[in-house]
Amino acid sequence: MNYLSVCSGIEAATVAWHPLGWQAVAYSEIERFPSEVLAHHYPNTPNLGDMTKFKEWSIESNVDVLVGGTPCQSFSVAGLRKGLDDPRGNLMLTYLAIAKRYRPNWLVWENVPGVLSSNGGRDFGSFLGGLAECGYGFAYRVLDAQYFGVAQRRRRVFVVGYLGDWRPAAAVLFERHSLQGHPAPSREKRQSIAASTRAGADGGGAITARMVAFGEYSDDGTASAMKARDYKDATDLVMQPIAFSRTDDGRDATHDLAPTMRVAGHAGGVLAAAVGTDLYNLSITGDVAACMSTAGSTSSKTGPTVMQAMAVRRLTPVECERLQGFGDNYTDIQPKGKPTPDGPRYKALGNSMAVPVMAWIGQRIKQVEQLSERND
Give catalytic residue positions. 72
Rounded-to-integer distance, Cα 154 and Cα 238, Å: 18
Strand order in the sheet with 305-314: 216-218, 207-213, 237-246, 305-314
Residue 163 contacts residue 135 (beta carbons within 8 Å)? yes
Q: Length of the chain in residues, anyone? A: 376
**Planar angle of CA 342, 210, 68, nearest 5 degrees:** 60
The number of angstroms, rounded, from the C-alpha of 26 to the middle of its chain's C-alpha atoms is: 22
Rounded-to-integer distance, Cα 45 and Cα 65, Å: 16
CB atoms within 10 A of CB 153: 17
Pick from 150, 159, 151, 48: which is nearest to 110 by CA? 159
Residue 116 contacts residue 98 (beta carbons within 8 Å)? no
**Planar angle of CA 106, 53, 29, nearest 5 degrees:** 70
Q: Which residues pair with 67 in a beta bridge?
A: 5, 108
